[in-house]
Amino acid sequence: MKAHTKETQATLTPEKALEFLKKGNQRFQNNLKANRNLLEQVNDTRDGQFPFAVILSCIDSRVSAELVFDQGLGDIFSVRIAGNFVNEDILGSIEYGCKVAGSKLVVVLGHTSCGAVSGACDNVEIGNITTLLSKIKPAVEAVKQPEDKSLRNSKNTEFVNEVSKKNVQLTLENMRKQSPVLTEMEQNGEIKMVGAMYNVSNGSVEFY
């Protein structure tokens, strides 16, 4: 499989880009990697890159976007931060990927059993982690069930995963509120912005 070129990137639609990722995750789940020569892709991309998607994901070591979507060099922009939320710098990076570099798809990828989300649920306060987790707290507060405070912590896996899903949704909302560039591109059909959850137990990705 060859690296994307300016020509192949230009022919892609947001829907086709999404289909690429879905098929890539199916290959990953079935342990069937696409036939690609990474060193050849190094050579193919030495004069430029033309990724078709930007993926915002957590730093979790189990959730490498390139691996779980079976993508090669030059295929995707990967933005990673604990808790997969957005701030000004991350939005600028995503805007660059879409507006300047031509990517057609933005994916906010959360995952099950997220440590950052668990920390936010437990009100962990350690150094700069405190400020980071405060970005995830709105998702914790937005999940209303269970009401019993003794069940609203990291010991309740179902609660943690529901907060992770809500965090993906809120991140997408914040993108649209805080980035006129991305919002305009989405409204014009130039890009698509979607949420997804990776299951650390079986390697599957569910798109929203």
Binding residue positions for Zn(2+): 58, 60, 111, 114
How many whole angstroms from its chain centre is CA 67? Answer: 13
Whether the CB-CB separation of 97 and 77 falls below 8 Å is answered with: yes
Residue 92: closest CA among 35, 175, 200: 175
In angstroms, the CA 80 to CA 107 distance is 12
Binding residue positions: 58, 60, 111, 114
In angstroms, the CA 17 to CA 149 distance is 42
Looking at the DSSP bridge assignments, the partners of residue 57 are 80, 109
Q: In what order do the strands lie in the sheet with 105-111?
A: 76-80, 53-57, 105-111, 192-198, 205-207
Sign of the CA dihedral with 178 first, then 49, 10, and 110 last: negative
What size, in residues, is the chain? 208
Q: What angle do CA 114, 77, 47 make, to 5 degrees?
A: 155
